[in-house]
Amino acid sequence: MRGSWQERFADSPDVLKSPSRLQTVVQVRDLEIGGAEFVTMAGPCSVETEFQLMATAHHVRRCGARILRGGAFKPRSSPYAFQGHGLEGLKMLARAREESGLAIVTEVMSECDVPMVAEYADILQIGTRNMENYSLLEAAARSGRPILLKRGMMATVADLLRSAQLILDNGNPNVILCERGIRTFETATRNTFDIGAIALLKYISHLPVIADPSHAAGHRELVPALARISVTAEADGLLVEVHPNPDKAWSDGDQSLDFADFDQMMGSLDPYLALRGLVLGATADARPMEAVG
């Protein structure tokens, strides 16, 4: 890496590549993030019901997902929107893990909740609104769980790396960066997907990088294309929202894929992954031959 990049991000030295630290591989249960496998994290925005969560978990597993995402605590913009089931949602996620074999990633919103969420989750997600909540970052780091750190909607790459540096400073090397789109003057999509940030992060940092095309697009029709673009930018995986019936989802239905769309998206990634010599999580015979409704 050229010296100019080292100088530009000099206040985040431990997240930058060096001759002795070219790539961090984060171990989560029986899988590795940042290694030879392209890891898909998929599931509903919110944990709603046992049926919704179990159906989604089993389906995304069959199509190659390795990690189930779902919000037990939801930082909604409106105080009148569904805020999540909290502890009961965490328990439903744990049951889904037991039945499906998928690891669990879910958001923690308060430093007080870190021990409780860490008891159930395999990965702690720090949401975009909390990327610079340093008390929460420190508490999450000390939990020992891997951290999925989402870029703030108005944060620069330097801001993201500084937050990652803080987690490393608190003794947790298992940080996964997530690009989920940033807020710009463009209003056609929910956010502006900064694909250049993915390429840059992969070039300058040894930490794994996950792309979230769902929050970037805000419209399910655009998610598969942004997912394919993420692969070509050398992301290590995806975070995608999937729901059995997006039109009746309790949150973020507009950007959620239904099962058939998820099947098609996953199949469309294969040639792009092949160019990079990567594989999806499931074996070929575990994935359906064609999309199902």
User: Can you tell me the distance from the alpha carbon of 106 to that of 93, in angstroms, rounded to the nearest whole number?
Assistant: 9
Comparing 7-11, 143-147, 153-157, the range with the smallest average pLDDT is 7-11
User: Can you tell me the distance from the alpha carbon of 199 to that of 238, in angstroms, rounded to the nearest whole number?
Assistant: 14
User: Can you tell me the distance from the alpha carbon of 126 to that of 253, in angstroms, rounded to the nearest whole number?
Assistant: 21
Of 218, 222, 233, 241, the residue nearest 275 (C-alpha): 233
Virtual torsion, Cα 189, 191, 193, 197, nearest 10 deg: 170
Q: Residue 279: phi, psi to the nearest 5?
A: -130, 155
* pLDDT confidence tier of residue 279, bands split at 50, 70 and 90: confident
Partners of 19 in the β-ladder: none
Domain 26-74+98-281 sits in CATH at 3.20.20.70
Q: State the average pLDDT for the chain.
A: 92
Count of beta carbons in the 10 Å neighbourhood of residue 40: 26
* pLDDT confidence tier of residue 15, bands split at 50, 70 and 90: very high
Q: What is the pTM of this model?
A: 0.92
CA 267 vs. chain centroid, Å, equals: 19
Q: Does residue 283 carry a pLDDT above 70?
A: no
User: Can you tell me the distance from the alpha carbon of 39 to that of 73, in angstroms, rounded to the nearest whole number?
Assistant: 23
Of 145, 56, 68, 52, the residue nearest 101 (C-alpha): 68
Quick one: pLDDT at residue 85?
80
pLDDT digits (tens, 9 = 90+) for 221-268: 999 999 999 999 999 999 999 999 999 999 889 999 999 999 999 999
pLDDT digits (tens, 9 = 90+) for 111-139: 999 999 999 999 999 999 999 999 999 99
